[in-house]
Every structure is written in C-alpha cells, then in structure tokens.
Amino acid sequence: MQQPVHDHDSGEGLAPVEEYRDDVLSSVEPLAPIELHLQEALGCVAARDVHAQEDMPSFSSSAMDGFAVRSADVAGASPESPVELRVAGRARIGRRPDATVGGGESIRIDTGAPVPAGADAVVPIEACLSSRETVRVLQPVSPGKHVRPAGEDATPGDLLVPAGRRLGAPELGVLAAAGHARMLVHPRPRVVVISTGDELIDPGQFPQFGEVRDSNAYTIFGAVRETGARPYLAGIVRDDVDAFREAIVSQLVQADAFISSGGVSVGEHDVVKRAFFKRGDVRFTRVAMQPGMPQAFGRIEGKPYFGLPGNPVSVFVSFEMFVRPALMKMAGRRNLERPQVTALLDTDVEGPEGKTVFARVRVTREEDGWHAASTGSRGSNLFTSVARSNGLAVIPPGIDRIEAGSQCRVILFRSLEDLAPCHRTTPRGRSRWGRRTSPPARPSPSAISG
Ligand code: AMP
Ligand code: MG
C-alpha cells in the first residue's frame, strides 16, 4: 500500500493520538496470572481478592507490662484501699499462659503476651505493688483496658487486598501477616528490545565517521524497567530483513512483547516495514503527533510488537504515549495515566498546527502554582533536552503555539526531585528559546490530576 502524499504538518490523513493510543491499548490484555513468592510479587498487580480467613491478630494480647485481672475484682481499688489478688501464674510473649484467672486472682503479664482466659483487663505494673505470691492493685481498670483484642485489625471475610491492587510494601506486610507467603499476580511483562540500523554501534565503541551510538536501546531499557516490566536487550540488528526477522523469532520464547526502534518510515532501508509490511499482523500508522509520527504496532506470533521510529526523542515520546500504558495494562495495572498538571508557561511552546505536540519542559512548583519552561528546541534528534525535562507540555491540534504567560497541560513523566540538580535553568521571566516573557499571570491553583 503506497502512502498517499500529504502535508503532514496540517495533520491531514494522520491518525489522532488518542485514537491510536486507544487502538493499541484495546489490543493488549493482562498477562495470565502466576503465583509468586512475596519477594518477587512486589510491584506486581494482585490477580485475586484476598480476604482474611482468621482473626487478625489471632489472639488477645496485653498492651502493657502488668497484671491480667478481672476488672470487676479491682473496681474499688485505690492507693488508700488496694485490692489484694493472688498471683496465679505467668503470661509470657509467644507462649500459652500457664494458668487462667479466677475470682480474686491475677497473672503477671508482659506486653504482647496472650491474655489468659478469665481476665478481661490489664493493670499496668506502675499501679501495682507486687510480691511473689500476691499483688496489691492501686487503681481500678475498665473492662478491656490495655488489652488488644483478637480480630481488632480484621475478622474472617474482611477484604485485605483487592484484585487489581499493585502490591507495595503495605500489601506485602498484610499478606505476610495473613499467612500468604505466595500471591497470585500478573507477572512482569518480559520485553525484548531491538535496535535497527546499519549506522549503529554499541555505546562503548568509538564511532567511525557517520556511525551513531545506539542510545535508544538504553532509553527503552530504562523506560521499560521503570514501568515495572523486564527489559532484555537483544542488541543491534542491521538493516537486513532476514537478520531482523531472525532476531525476533529467536527471542520469541522469552518475550511477552517486542519493541524495536528505527526502520518504520518509508525509506528503502526501513527494515521493519520490509519485514512485516506485507503481513497483515503489523500495521504502520502515521500518527498526528510531533515527535513520533511513524508508528508500527501489531502481533508477532501473538505477542504485541511495537515498532518505534528511530529518532531518540520520538522513541521517548512514543514509548510514553503508547508503549508504557500498554505494558502497564499487560501487567494488570488499571490506572495507566501519568499525573498531569496545568502549568503556567515561562516560555513559548510551539509546533505544527495539525498535530498534537509534546514539548519537553521542566516543571517546577512555585509559590503561585505550577510553572513549565521549554528545555530545548523541537528537533526529535535533540535528546539532551529530554534529560533536562520532567514533563511534556501538550499543544493540542489546531494550535501552533502557546505563549509564555498562558496555561498549558503538562504530563509529568518523573518526579520533581528526580530532576535535581538542574544543570541548566531558565531564569524566570526570560526565555532561553522564546522571546522575553510578559509578567506571569496568576494561575488558578491547580491540583495534580490523574
Ligand atoms: P530511522 O527511523 O531508522 O530512519 O532512524 C532515524 C534517525 O534515528 C537516524 O538518524 C538514526 O541514526 C537514528 N537512530 C535510529 N536508531 C537509533 C538508535 N538505536 N540510537 C540512536 N539513534 C538512532
Ligand atoms: Mg534506520
């Protein structure tokens, strides 16, 4: 199929970003659940509800060092008229108490030790005068005082971890407490990463004239890992159809998904296109976005395949928009969105009118709200600007520029702290890349959404 000739900057004939993203997302499914030990399950998504099957905690225990008593026995106790009780035994942590508490009796108890049968309260040691055989109680206690009852935290049937919850430290603790050493979760997708291009060399090599270090593999490696999935770098493949097919096929058994970069445009060396174009299972789409217009997506032997463009910034942005949410969905995650803020622009941002433009910006939190400033010009080969950014300002189709002083929607792709220290900053009110800005208007205080 020959691509019709279009004026791409007008957006004509291109697929809208949201439509393409929905398309990609609707064709991937959560991976089949497996049981993992809690240590491996951290960061994975629960594939079933877990309910309490027993009381948590399973026994009543003392919250104080003291004497387990019947509260009715000591109702009249005071320093002037202490109540004397026989010490019938001992309750130590981790053991069954060696006696029960009858009328006129008590048991010496430690913090955390099981409360003996017959007792309904604990008198702290400070309110007692004790000898070996007897204790004189100087204070009354109400029923239940200083006792942590069984089932106080959860009782059988209580929902502890819902299906769809990503397991973090609190969930691991709750599952362990409830006796689940293993947990049914969606596994981390295993993602094979391939770089295509005759010009590429490994980062440790020194380039001959015209050679380019393979940076995309590492960008994708980091981005995959940050979603919680497992990247496998399968190396550089030359622009040779058979080599490319062979590289993919040889990785099939260990892959849940494939990502390649480069070779998806219309050039005669565009190996991905030549390898898969004739087969119906990979589609090549021109998406109305900048950067990242050419995209390939489909299935190879049933496994999702993402063919990203070669330009490093395009790789980063298309991973953000399409691959990241897809891998998260495969991992069973339900909220696939990055946090977004409405920020006041300290510089202009601009791009082709017909496309959704994702401009690299540095977002800061100032006294008057969120601010964003461009970190470089638009070229999709200018990757160091990505490393200076923590956000992508979104210029919707139909607009070619948002001026400094206006508000703009910004996707935060990493936390503000992670960008520190900032090696190059844009002074407030002055733009490195735009014109001098007008005094910033007061933005309405905007909360993080999503
Ligand atoms: P392509 O989409 O294959 O035509 O590549 C577009 C541009 O991205 C070219 O300048 C390539 O040299 C560059 N490029 C492709 N793959 C990589 C890579 N793995 N690392 C860095 N640059 C790349
Ligand atoms: Mg190439």
72 or 449: which leads in pLDDT: 72
Alpha helices in 251-311 (DSSP H): 271-276
CB 352 within 8 A of CB 395: no
pLDDT at 38 over 60: yes
112 φ/ψ sector (left φ>0, alpha ψ -120 to 50, else beta): left
Per-residue pLDDT band for 8 (boundaries 50, 70, 90) equals confident
List, for residues 291-323, the tens digit of each pLDDT value.
999 999 999 888 999 999 999 999 999 999 999
What average pLDDT does the chain have? 91
pLDDT at 415: 86
Mean pLDDT of all residues in 230-259: 93
Phi and psi of 248, rounded to 5°?
A: -70, -50
| Per-residue pLDDT at 32 exceeds 60 | yes
In 3-state terms, what secondary structure has residue 444? coil
C-beta of residue 395 within 8 angstroms of C-beta of residue 402:
yes
Query: What are the C-alpha distances in Å from 308 to residues 106, 140, 244?
Result: 74, 74, 14
Between 280 and 235, whose confidence is greater? 235
* pLDDT reading at 24 higher than 50: yes
Look-up: residue for tokens 């204790």?
A: 135
pLDDT category at 7 given cuts 50, 70, 90 is low
Judge whether residue 3 has pLDDT over 90.
Answer: no
Mean pLDDT on 15-39 = 98
Determine the distance separating the centroid of ligand 1 and the alpha carbon of 191, expressed in angstroms.
20
Maximum CA pair distance of the chain? 102
pLDDT at 423: 58
Mean pLDDT for the stretch of residues 34-39? 98
Q: What is the pLDDT of residue 447?
A: 45
| Structure confidence at residue 443 (pLDDT) | 44
- Ligand 2 centroid – CA 293 distance (Å): 15
Q: Residue 229: its pLDDT value, please?
A: 98
Please check the confidence at residue 434 and state whether its pLDDT lies above 50.
no
What is the per-residue burial (b if ≥16 Cβ within 10 Å, else e) of 396-425? ebeeeebebbbbbbbbbbeeeeebeeeeee
Residues touching ligand 1 (Cβ under 6 Å) are 195, 197, 199-200, 212, 214-217, 261-263, 265, 309-312
Q: Please compute the mean of the pLDDT values over residues 36-41 and round it to a whole number.
A: 98
To which H or E segment does residue 22 belong?
Answer: helix 17-26
In the numeric block, which tokens belong to residue 313?
A: 């910034």
Under the banding of pLDDT at 50, 70 and 90, the label for residue 269 is low
The percent of residues above 70 in pLDDT, for the chain, comes to 90
Looking at per-residue pLDDT, the higher value among 423 and 175 belongs to: 175
Does 444 have pLDDT greater than 90? no
Give this prediction's pTM.
0.88
Range 387-412 average pLDDT: 96
β-strands 147-148, 61-62: how paired?
antiparallel
- CA of 239 from ligand 2 middle (Å) equals 7
Q: Name residues with Cβ closer than 5 Å to ligand 2, which is an ion.
A: 197, 262-263, 310
Structural element, H or E, at residue 161: strand 159-161
Give residue-wise pLDDT tens across range 183-201: 999 999 999 999 999 999 9
Q: Which atom of ligand 1 is nearest to the CA of 196?
A: 16
The residue to mutate among 239, 240, 261, having the most atoms of ligand 1 within 8 angstroms of its beta carbon, is: 261
Tokens of 369: 């709200």
Ligand 1, atom 5, lies closest to the CA of 310
Range with the largest mean pLDDT of 10-24, 25-39, 236-250, 405-419: 25-39
**Is a pLDDT exceeding 60 seen at residue 449?**
no
Pocket test for ligand 1, best of 196, 259, 311, 318 (most atoms within 8 A of CB): 311
Q: Cα 211 vs. chain centroid, distance in angstroms?
A: 36
Check residue 6 and give its pLDDT: 57
CA distance 39 to 44: 10
Q: Is the per-residue pLDDT at 157 higher than 50?
A: yes
